[in-house]
Each structure stands twice: as C-alpha cells, then as structure tokens.
Amino acid sequence: MPNLKGLLFSQFATEGLAALVEEMQSRYTAKKGRRFNHDNVTYEISRPVLSDNTIEFEISSKIPEDEIKTPKAMQSYFQQIKKILAKGTHKPESIEMENIVWDSSKETEKKRNYVKLQYRFPLDDLFDNKVVAKRREKVMSGQPDPSVPNSPSTFTKAGSIVLASVRENMHQFSKDSLAELMDANKQVKVALKG
C-alpha cells in the first residue's frame, strides 16, 4: 500500500507531466488524449504510476508508417532511434518497439508501430535537499515563490517546496527526454531521405 509521501509525490509528478502535455499540445498539433503531432510523428506522454517507491512514466512516438512502409524498414528505424537515445543525457529504463492494434469502432483495425521509452525514478531522486533548503531560506526571508503550492497535506514550508520541486523536476526531466526523442526522430528521418 502506498504511503503518504508516495501519494503526494505521485500527485505532483502528475501535475508536472500534465503541464508538459498542455505545453506540447499548444505548441504543436493537438491530438486526442495525451498526444500531439509534430513533423508527421505522433507523440504520447503517459500518466505517472507509483510503484515500489518509484514514479514510472512512458514517452512514445509513432513510427511514421506513411514514410516507412516495410516491417524491415520500421525495425531499422527503431534501431537507429535506439542507438541515438543510448548516447543521450536522459537514458530511459527501457526502449521497446511496440505494435498497438486499435479498434475504435469495432469495425476497423489499425496497426501502429511505436517507439516506447520507459523512465523510472526513486521518490528521493525527484528533489534535492540543498535546493529545497535554499528555496526555503528565500521564502522565509520574504521573497515570494509562486510555484510553491499551499498544500494542506504538508505542515511545513519545506514540505511545500519539496512538492513544488517534484512537479518542476518531473516537468523538466520529461521535457528534456521528449526533446531527445523528437531530435532522434528528426535525425533518422533526415538520414532516410539523405
């Protein structure tokens, strides 16, 4: 059973990822749910899941099947994406090629191949005690910090700052990870046209 810390961190991690979804959908072409399209590639950012004192989430991108027709070419596309991401700063816990069959109206099936990245963070890696202490000092000296929530679940200003840090760090990390995936897709698409 999750503890209070896990539940609160999960709530604020959810807020961080939701803010990223909104940001990407306003910047690019919004699609249903938590998806958006950029440069003929559909991306999706999952909701976080609390599991064994870790927050897990996934970022995926559809392999552009109108540009890459054969299963062999799709596998090659996936391998190139995987190779680029292995050199990146934000390495996912796992990188998989997933085939999703979607039957929206019970009449048609659509097969879509996705690159799926899974990330996993221990709860204590979602904030930095030194940063929290510095922010607390500033707030206590009278400097406003509008990103710090007034949460009834925390009893101290430091606790509220930790929750703000969880939200901000989840947002920034997922944004950076998404940028790496978007750049990898761009590089592979350019190489294929090359």
How high is the pLDDT of residue 48? 96
Q: 121-148, pLDDT tens digit by residue?
A: 999 999 999 999 999 898 888 888 878 8
How high is the pLDDT of residue 180? 97
SS3 track for the chain? CCCHHHHHHHHHHHHHHHHHHHHHHHHCEECCCCEEEECCEEEEECCCEEECCEEEEEEEEECCCCCCCCHHHHHHHHHHHHHHHHCCCCCCCEEEEEEEEECCCCCCCEEEEEEEEEEEEEHHHHCCHHHHHHHHHHHHCCCCCCCCCCCCCCCCHHHHHHHHHHHHHHHHHHHHHHHHHHHHHHHHHHHHHC
How high is the pLDDT of residue 108? 57
CA distance 109 to 111: 7
Percent of the residues in the chain that have a pLDDT greater than 70, as a whole number? 91
Q: What is the pTM of this model?
A: 0.88
Number of domains in the chain: 1
How high is the pLDDT of residue 143? 85
**pLDDT surpasses 60 at 109:** no
CA atoms within 13 A on the CB side of 165: 20
Contact at 8 Å (CB) between 151 and 124?
Answer: no
**pLDDT surpasses 90 at 24:** yes
Q: 69-78, pLDDT tens digit by residue?
A: 788 888 999 9
> Which domain does 139 fall in, by range?
4-193
How high is the pLDDT of residue 120? 95
Rg of the Cα atoms in the chain = 19
How high is the pLDDT of residue 102? 54
